[in-house]
Structure 1
Amino acid sequence: MASADAAIGIPADGRQRGVAGRDMPDVLRVLLNGFVFVLLWNHVWLKDLSDRSMLAASEDGSLLTQVLFLGAGAAMAAAIHRIGVRHLHPLLTRPLVLCAVWLGATALLSIEPSLSLRRLVLFAIAAMLSAGVLIVARSPRQLALTMAGSALVIVLGSYLAVALVPNLAIHSAFDVNSDPSHPGLWRGIFPQKNEAGAAMVILVIVGLYVATVASRLLGWAIVLLAAGFLVASGSKTAILLLPVILAVTGLCQVLTGGFLRRLLLLGPVIGFSLISIGSVLAPPIQDAVGALLTDATFTGRSEIWQFAIDNIMIRPWRGWGIGAFWMTERTMYAGSEELTWVTTVDHAHNAYLDTALIGGLPFLALTVVAFVLAPVRDLQRVAGGMRLDAETMLFLRLWFLGLVSASFETVLYNGNNATCCMFMIAVFGLRLRTRYAVLAR
């Protein structure tokens, strides 16, 4: 049995000799990955939501975000080079490469090329960080303990923020674009309660992984702390999706056949898509959903979805470019005869619509192949007919979280979004385990 030298199962005796295959001290591995996880989960702490400057178009981006991601990206690039970039070669699949090429091409053809190229660089760094943590972690236990430390920084920081600076950690009536239902809901160190809710779902999943691999006490402490904050955030989408994620992925331990697993995993994704986009495109679905749910969009998002669909059809083949549609002067101040609150939102609240806005309908099709269908195939290659081990279950839960969240939040191609980054870790992890998991047994 070969010893594994990475969380995804790279055998220690398979490391490349020479400059590109040297070892890294454990302390550097833990510090780098710990910083990266905190950065990906939230890097905008204690945002003042009463600042009216947030109402303006935000094409310049955040200098702090750029500095943090550039610094982390440089450190991760050095670590990947030292360990051996060849260990990431399994990620060069045709669907993923085609997605990258199309994304780059549409950025060049964007209505705002300079803006799209900046956003593309940020996303590329986030993707590299998401892949890098998988080979920087020496073992599943080290990955679990590193994630546990980062999770405690986030969740305890959020509780302390609520206790010490409630004006910056709890929604109030003074928030710009304040929703009548938001005052009193906790957001902790996060910019918004929905971002806090999504992060807490991630931490619950991380806590379950820690409890299985490293420490039952520490893992369940993270689960309980994160679940408590999730309830206090009042994030309806996150609260609804968490039990669905745990139930469906838990059933994957029982239903091990390929067809049943595909049906179990893709069925809810199709269902949520019908509830969301389908309720806008098809009146019969809208009537059926309306009879079952008083608010199928959870926050009246149907207007946003219709606005997004209308603009997709303006540029259906190449899209508008990454980051070049929402919260830009063209969208917010384009001189429309009927300007509404819809033009001031920062995303479509639907990842599939935003993907089509970025790169057109062909890009949406490529994304479905690369990030929806291919991971299901990889899952069956890793654990077809068998129960799932802890790492595969972690990746499965994070991947499924991204897919079911995609119908109500923008969680694809957004390096600023925690769910997007964890989703990429899951997709990359499942792919890498098709190459290395067997070798590590």
Structure 2
Amino acid sequence: MPLRRGATPRTPPAVRPRPVSSAAEIDAGRVAKSRARSARDIPDWMRIVLNGTVIVVFWNHLWFSDLSDRSLLEAAESGSLLTQATFIGLGLAMGAALWRLGIERLRPLLSWPILLCAGWLALTILTSVEPLLSIRRSILLLIAAMLAAGILVVARSARQFALTLAGSALIIVVSSFLAVALVPHLAVHSAFDVQAEPEHAGLWRGIFPHKNEAGSVMVILILVGLYVAATASRFYGWTIVVLSAIFLIGTNSKTAMATLPVILVVTGLTQVFRGGAMRVLLLVAPILAFSVISIGSVFIPPVKDLLEAILKDATYTGRSEIWQFAVENILNRPLQGWGYGAFWLTERTMYGSATISTWVNSARHAHNAFLDAALTTGLPGLLFALLAYVYGPLRDLSRIAAGRTLDPTLMLFVRLWLFAMISASFESVLFNGNNPTCCMVMLAIFGLRLRTEHALVSR
């Protein structure tokens, strides 16, 4: 625009140069940031104690169960006060640690498969036949999930994580051996057990309530020992492997003993065949095979005939009766299910029908995680569970290590995941926060998820 006559031209404002930070100011800023990080840090001894306690509780928190106690035959809707107090206390401690370290570190866990599964589970709690019972039992699962994720954040490094696992493993396996030697009436199955078959007499269970649970934990300890040997200490790692293998033989847990070599062979092959599709096929094949062998023995006649010709007990010690009973009740409520934790060991199941055999009405779960998911959360819940427990981890693994070998931490996560998925054909390990395999598979799934964003417990 032209100036008016007599007007004085306006001088443009001077541009102030941006001050250049001195070396001293830069150093001061770095020191301030370092102090801020230190203020939110947790001492190593606190990290180890917290994680070690959580891991031991995951593996077993009800030591020296007296299986001759006839009160075990009663309905257990009220739950264990010791279990509830233990998990609530650890949940508060882990919550405080996560708040101090930064709760935002858990943000990668908000993936759509996990959110869909959690959202549907919450919805079925509201439609449960026993809503209060479902809410109470779901709180335990929620705390267990938070603890599993918290372990990965609290661990400062892979070495610290491995050493914490090693200490926890030695506590469990050494205590189990001492229990068998010093208090055999509380550590070895006998003919007086009210919740075990007579043929279990003489089999080791150590500090665990059942030889099958002891066997599952011993497999987990063997996998942990291999990780410790590869990451922190060969001596401690192989000591854990040998002791756990000996105790596993003493349990004579057939499912655990049959599963272990499959896991080691399949995960070993994933180091050779590194292509995404081939690796996924290797990991999915045994899951499908065990599913067909278990449920197929009941509902697929050719499979049933083949197993009867090969196996001495094609009913898997009476599990087929439970599976048939579970399927019948899935069909009664196929959409919403009966509600989380609101079916087994309730008065409806135990005393609702005089025609149900004792083995079925005293069962604690369906002895098949996929059937239990459909039974308690409906068929949509089963679909969402498969997305969260199978599709999600395989997708994350492909993103992390497609075409590359698996480092020891990734290998541990994959082995724990595969063990749980195979065990799901014979035990309820997907939505049971009171089960060691369930807790460890949540840790494995969360570990794979977090590794897609951060190098947690990988340094």
2-structure distance, mates of 1:16, 1:48: 53
Return the offset for 1:322: 1.3
1:140-176 Cα shifts (integer Å, max 9, x gaps): 0000000000001100010011111010000000111
Partner of 1:368: 386
Return the offset for 1:181: 1.4
Partner of 1:405: 423
Is 2:57 the counterpart of 1:39? yes
Contact residue 409 and residue 458 of structure 2 kept, 8 A: no
Return the offset for 1:105: 1.2
Decide whether aligned partners of structure 1 residues 432 and 313 sit closer, same or farther in structure 2, where only a CA change above 3 A counts.
same
Moved more, 294-303 or 192-201: 294-303
Contact residue 197 and residue 230 of structure 1 kept, 8 A: yes
Moved more, 340-349 or 385-394: 340-349
Partner of 1:222: 240
1-structure distance, mates of 2:198, 2:191: 8
Contact residue 158 and residue 457 of structure 2 kept, 8 A: no
1-structure distance, mates of 2:139, 2:314: 35
Is 2:140 the counterpart of 1:140? no
Contact residue 351 and residue 410 of structure 1 kept, 8 A: yes
* Aligned with residue 368 of structure 2, among 350, 363, 369: 350
* Aligned with residue 79 of structure 1, among 97, 100, 106: 97
Partner of 2:448: 430
2-structure distance, mates of 1:240, 1:20: 48
Return the offset for 1:394: 0.5
Decide whether aligned partners of structure 1 residues 42 and 16 sit closer, same or farther in structure 2, where only a CA change above 3 A counts.
farther
Matched letter for residue 177 of structure 2 = Y
Partner of 2:305: 287
Moved more, 50-59 or 275-284: 275-284
1-structure distance, mates of 2:49, 2:226: 22
Return the offset for 1:177: 3.0
Secondary structure of the 2:307 match is: helix
TM-score by length of 2: 0.90
Aligned length: 428
Contact residue 322 and residue 360 of structure 2 kept, 8 A: yes
TM-score by length of 1: 0.94
1:42-69 Cα shifts (integer Å, max 9, x gaps): 0000000000000000000000000000
Instruction: Extract unaligned runs of 5+ from structure 2.
Output: 1-30
1:57-88 Cα shifts (integer Å, max 9, x gaps): 00000000000000000000001111111111
Is 2:333 the counterpart of 1:315? yes
Q: For residues 14-93 of structure 1, what are the structure 2 equivalents within 5 Å?
A: 22-93=40-111
Is 2:138 the counterpart of 1:120? yes
Secondary structure of the 2:452 match is: helix
Secondary structure of the 2:454 match is: helix
* Aligned with residue 192 of structure 1, among 210, 213, 216: 210
Decide whether aligned partners of structure 1 residues 322 and 216 sit closer, same or farther in structure 2, where only a CA change above 3 A counts.
same
Secondary structure of the 1:436 match is: coil
Decide whether aligned partners of structure 1 residues 21 and 379 sit closer, same or farther in structure 2, where only a CA change above 3 A counts.
farther
Contact residue 20 and residue 81 of structure 1 kept, 8 A: no
Return the offset for 1:109: 1.2
Secondary structure of the 2:267 match is: helix
Decide whether aligned partners of structure 1 residues 434 and 51 sit closer, same or farther in structure 2, where only a CA change above 3 A counts.
same
Is 2:103 the counterpart of 1:100? no
Q: For residues 224-373 of structure 1, what are the structure 2 equivalents within 5 Å?
A: 224-373=242-391
- Following TM superposition, the consecutive aligned residue runs of length 4 or more in structure 1 with deviations greater than 4 angstroms are 15-21, 438-441
Instruction: Extract unaligned runs of 5+ from structure 1.
Output: 1-12
Matched letter for residue 350 of structure 1 = N
Decide whether aligned partners of structure 1 residues 251 and 17 sit closer, same or farther in structure 2, where only a CA change above 3 A counts.
farther
1-structure distance, mates of 2:264, 2:85: 36
Matched letter for residue 97 of structure 2 = A
Matched letter for residue 136 of structure 1 = V
Matched letter for residue 421 of structure 2 = L
Secondary structure of the 2:316 match is: coil
Contact residue 169 and residue 186 of structure 1 kept, 8 A: yes
Secondary structure of the 2:453 match is: helix
Partner of 1:6: none
Return the offset for 1:301: 1.0
2-structure distance, mates of 1:404, 1:41: 18
2-structure distance, mates of 1:227, 1:103: 37
The structure with more radius of gyration: 2
Matched letter for residue 115 of structure 2 = V
1-structure distance, mates of 2:98, 2:252: 39
1-structure distance, mates of 2:100, 2:411: 29
Return the offset for 1:244: 0.6
Moved more, 408-417 or 296-305: 296-305
2-structure distance, mates of 1:21, 1:113: 43
Partner of 2:228: 210
Contact residue 190 and residue 198 of structure 2 kept, 8 A: no
Matched letter for residue 333 of structure 2 = R
Is 2:399 the counterpart of 1:381? yes
* Aligned with residue 147 of structure 2, among 123, 129, 142: 129
2-structure distance, mates of 1:124, 1:21: 29
2-structure distance, mates of 1:254, 1:367: 29
CA-based RMSD = 1.8
Secondary structure of the 1:435 match is: coil
Return the offset for 1:295: 2.5
Return the offset for 1:286: 1.4
2-structure distance, mates of 1:316, 1:408: 21
1:183-240 Cα shifts (integer Å, max 9, x gaps): 0000000000000000000000000000000000000000000000000011110011
Secondary structure of the 2:343 match is: coil
Decide whether aligned partners of structure 1 residues 113 and 20 sit closer, same or farther in structure 2, where only a CA change above 3 A counts.
farther
Matched letter for residue 438 of structure 2 = C
Moved more, 282-291 or 263-272: 282-291
Return the offset for 1:277: 1.1
2-structure distance, mates of 1:128, 1:20: 24
Partner of 1:160: 178
Decide whether aligned partners of structure 1 residues 390 and 21 sit closer, same or farther in structure 2, where only a CA change above 3 A counts.
farther
1-structure distance, mates of 2:189, 2:458: 47
Partner of 2:188: 170
